[in-house]
């Protein structure tokens, strides 16, 4: 596995009708998830959605800030920022 890593800014919208990556929102990626913002459910769903889109294990993603905020930062191991954005927006 590559030693590359990057941090992604995420704007999470919990309680949506479906889970999806919406697209860029300034320097962040807007993500909607069905899960409610309680007990970390939305955070786990955002992490699972990002991992699935990137084709990596959820363990390669770490929520580094924004545990109780819609503005989140995830660290992604194994990708540069350019590689991660290319996969997420594909």
Domain at 62, CATH number: 3.30.1200.10
pLDDT in tens, 43-90: 999 999 999 999 999 999 999 999 999 999 999 999 999 999 999 999
Q: Is 74 helix (H, G, I), strand (E, B) or coil?
A: strand
| Domain ranges, residue 53 | 5-88
Question: Within the chain, where are the H helices?
Answer: 41-54, 81-88
Count H helices and E strands in the chain, helices first.
2, 5
Calculate the CA 85 to chain-centre distance: 11
As for how many domains the chain has, the answer is 1
pTM of the model: 0.94
């Amino acid at each position: 596995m590559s030693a590359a890593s990057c941090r992604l800014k995420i704007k999470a919208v919990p309680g949506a009708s479906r889970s999806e990556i919406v697209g860029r929102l300034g320097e962040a990626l807007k993500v909607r998830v069905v899960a409610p913002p309680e007990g970390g459910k939305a955070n786990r769903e955002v992490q699972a959605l990002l991992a699935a889109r990137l084709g990596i294990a959820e363990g390669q993603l770490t929520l580094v800030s924004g545990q109780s905020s819609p503005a989140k930062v995830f660290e992604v191991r194994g990708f540069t920022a350019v590689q991660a954005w290319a996969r997420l927006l594909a």
